[in-house]
Amino acid sequence: MSSELEVPFRPKRKKTLVDFFVQFRWIIVIFVVLPISSTIYFLLYLGDVRSEWKSYKTRQKEHDENVKKVVKRLKSRNAAKDGLVCTARKPYIAVGMRNVDYKRARHFEVDLAAFRNILDIDVENMVAKVEPLVNMGQISRATVPLNVSLAVVAELDDLTVGGLINGYGIEGSSHIYGLFADTVVAYEIVLADGKVVRATKDNEYSELFYAIPWSQGTLGLLVSAEIKLIPIKEYMRLTYTPVKGSLQEVAQGYIDSFAPKDGDQDNPKKVPDFVEGMVYNSSEGVMMTGRYASKEEAKKKGNVINSCGWWFKPWFYQHAQTALDRGEFVEYIPTRDYYHRHTRSLYWEGKLIIPFGDQLWFRFLLGWLMPPKVSLLKATQGEAIRNYYHENHVIQDMLVPLYKVGDALEWVHREMEVYPLWLCPHRLFRLPVKTMIYPEPGFEQHKRQGDTSYAQMFTDVGVYYAPGPILRGEVFDGAEAVRKMEKWLLENHGFQPQYAVSELNEKDFWRMFDASLYEKARRKYGAVGTFMSVYYKSKKGRKSEKEVAEAEKERAEVETPDAEEE
Is the pLDDT score of 342 beyond 90? yes
Is the pLDDT score of 509 beyond 80? yes
pLDDT at residue 6, as a whole number: 75
What does the mean pLDDT of the chain come to?
A: 90
- b/e for 80-104, b at 16 or more Cβ within 10 A? eeebbbbbebebbbbbbbbbbebbe
Predicted confidence band at 377 (pLDDT cuts at 50, 70, 90)? confident
pLDDT at residue 547, as a whole number: 62
Predicted confidence band at 87 (pLDDT cuts at 50, 70, 90)? confident
Pick the more confident residue, 45 or 424: 424
pLDDT at residue 247, as a whole number: 97
The pLDDT tens digits for 115-125 are 999 999 999 99
Predicted confidence band at 549 (pLDDT cuts at 50, 70, 90)? low
Predicted confidence band at 9 (pLDDT cuts at 50, 70, 90)? confident
The pLDDT tens digits for 400-416 are 999 999 999 999 999 99
Contact assessment for residue 365 and residue 41, using Cβ atoms and an 8 Å cutoff: no
pTM to 2 decimal places:
0.91
DSSP string, 396-461: EEEEEEGGGHHHHHHHHHHHT---SEEEEEEEEE--SS--SS-PPTTHHHH--TT--SSEEEEEEE
Q: Give Cβ neighbours of residue 314 (< 8 Å, ≥ 6 apart).
A: 358, 363
- b/e for 178-200, b at 16 or more Cβ within 10 A? bbbbbbbbbbbbbbbebebbebe
Predicted confidence band at 562 (pLDDT cuts at 50, 70, 90)? very low
Distances (CA, A) of 193 to 88, 302, 528: 18, 62, 11
